[in-house]
Amino acid sequence: MSANLATESTTVVATRQSVLNERHRALGSKLDGEIWNGMPLPESYTTNADDEVVAVRTRAGLYDVTALNIVNVTGPAALKVLDKLVTIDVTKLEPGSCRLAGEVNDAGALVDDIMVICDAKDTYRLSHGSGATQTTLAELAKGEDVTIEQDLDVHILSLQGPKAIDILNPEVDFDLAALPYFKHVNTTLFGCDIMLSRGGYSGEQGYEVYCKAADAVKIWDTILEKGQPFGAIACSWNSLDLTRVEASLLFFPFDMPEGDTTPWEVNMHWCVDEDKPGDYIGKEAVLNLKGRERFKQIGLECDCKTAVPEGAKLMVNGKEVGVITSPSYSRYLMKSIALAHIKPEYSQFGTQVTLVADDEVKARIVKMPFYDPMRARTHPE
């Protein structure tokens, strides 16, 4: 992620700021060029990103993920508009739940991935990255009784790791262990009104705190204070990228470099409800593209002691068959790993490939995710 975000930041101007910036600077972040969705990112701290990964995997790590875009969609036509936007059946979402959804264009290609958060049947929030969501929403809302506005005040603090529940459970007025994955509640934390959801981007059991900007510093400081006996630390976005690659979680648009990637080509079949009634943007196209994948999303273990280059070509018997999308060297797993795209006929587990960049590197296709292959951390029985 760091290379991708640094590239983007050369042409994007900061239009938003986290109120936690002074905390990030005190931890060693320069906040001088890493910009995503208009917000400078704490891409690195003086602590080592690999050590931060260890904290997340064994204790707890606290991230500031306020750079996500949060859009409020409210009013009598909110459900109607959202159901035209995404590939899931929004009518099935109950208050207090959320679900990841795909957004495709008229050609059936992904243009964003979205977390649809349902607070009531006429009140929703969308959490999304840097895709086309807000532009498309504005078009769909024309003539409809719906209000759409980006929440520029909300701050999102993500506490990830096996000790996250031990840190937060004593501070809330309900049993946090009973909160299912992708569910959320309105509650208070350290005297502040928040929304608390179970989820994250690390492949660990974790929780996300949605709060007002005025409360973010207090909550950040108090989580770290309460978490100190459990070994919790603040963590940078570089470590977040390491954990998400280990967990084989995709990042739009960098894991969809073709520009016309379909959900079927990146194992996002779960974000398309094929039996969804009614119409939505790109419905006919995306359903017709199932079974016509030009490539498959795969995971690679590479025979080297560093991360392989992003964009490196995959070769089999001298023929170009794919490309690296998200590489990483995982010190936690002691492996060089990568997310990649490859032609379907070469996508079987165990297939040997050669990566061609500055040097040639041998690699093989393995099962994903690389870390916690049964996803027992995020979906325990």
Does residue 165 fall inside a structural domain?
yes
Burial string for 80-89 (b: 16+ CB within 10 Å, else e) reads: bbbbbbbbbb
What's residue 11's pLDDT? 56
**Pick from 183, 245, 242, 219: nearest CA to 56:** 242
**Pick from 250, 237, 249: nearest CA to 62:** 237
User: Same domain, yes or no, for 223 and 205?
Assistant: yes
Domain that holds residue 226: 2-66+154-246
User: Same domain, yes or no, for 273 and 357?
Assistant: no
User: Same domain, yes or no, for 304 and 376?
Assistant: yes
User: Same domain, yes or no, for 240 and 288?
Assistant: no
Is the Cβ–Cβ distance between 281 and 106 less than 8 Å?
A: yes
pLDDT tens, position by position, 200-259: 999 999 999 999 999 999 999 999 999 999 999 999 999 999 999 999 999 999 999 999
Q: Which amino acid appears at position 10 of this protein?
A: T
User: Same domain, yes or no, for 381 and 306?
Assistant: yes
Query: ∠ CA(148), CA(102), CA(98), 5° rounding?
Result: 65
Domain count, the chain: 3
User: Same domain, yes or no, for 223 and 86?
Assistant: no
CA distances from 121 to 96, 124, 164, 361 (A): 10, 8, 30, 52
User: Same domain, yes or no, for 172 and 275?
Assistant: no
Distance from chain centroid for Cα 316: 31
Establish whether 208 is an annotated binding residue. yes
User: Same domain, yes or no, for 115 and 191?
Assistant: no
pLDDT tens, position by position, 22-72: 999 999 999 997 899 999 999 999 999 999 999 999 999 999 999 999 999
User: Same domain, yes or no, for 277 and 236?
Assistant: no
Does residue 255 fall inside a structural domain?
no
Pair of tokens at residue 83: 């159901």
- The span from the CA of 329 to the CA of 337, in Å, is 6
If the chain, 381 residues long, is cut into consecutive pieces of 10 residues, what is the mean pLDDT of each piece? Answer: 43 89 98 92 98 98 98 98 98 97 97 96 96 95 98 98 98 96 97 98 97 98 98 98 98 95 97 96 98 98 97 97 98 98 98 93 98 91 65
pTM higher than the cut 0.75:
yes
User: Same domain, yes or no, for 111 and 188?
Assistant: no
Is the Cβ–Cβ distance between 18 and 24 less than 8 Å?
A: yes
Does residue 254 fall inside a structural domain?
no
CATH number where 333 lies: 2.40.30.110
Per-residue H/E/C for the chain: CHHHHHHHHCCCCCCCCCCCHHHHHHCCCCCCCCEECCEECCCCCCCCHHHHHHHHHHCCEEEECCCCEEEEEECCCHHHHHHHHCCCCHHHCCCCEEEEEEEECCCCCEEEEEEEEEEECCEEEEEECCCCHHHHHHHHHCCCCCEEEECCCCEEEEEECCCHHHHHHHHCCCCHHHCCCCEEEEEEECCEEEEEEECCCCCCCEEEEEECHHHHHHHHHHHHHHHHHHCCEECCHHHHHHHHHHCCCCCCCCCCCCCCCCHHHHCCHHHCCCCCCCCCCCHHHHHHCCCCCCCEEEEEEECCCCCCCCCCEEEECCEEEEEEEEEEEECCCCEEEEEEEECHHHCCCCCEEEEECCCEEEEEEECCCCCCCCCCCCCCC
User: Same domain, yes or no, for 161 and 57?
Assistant: yes
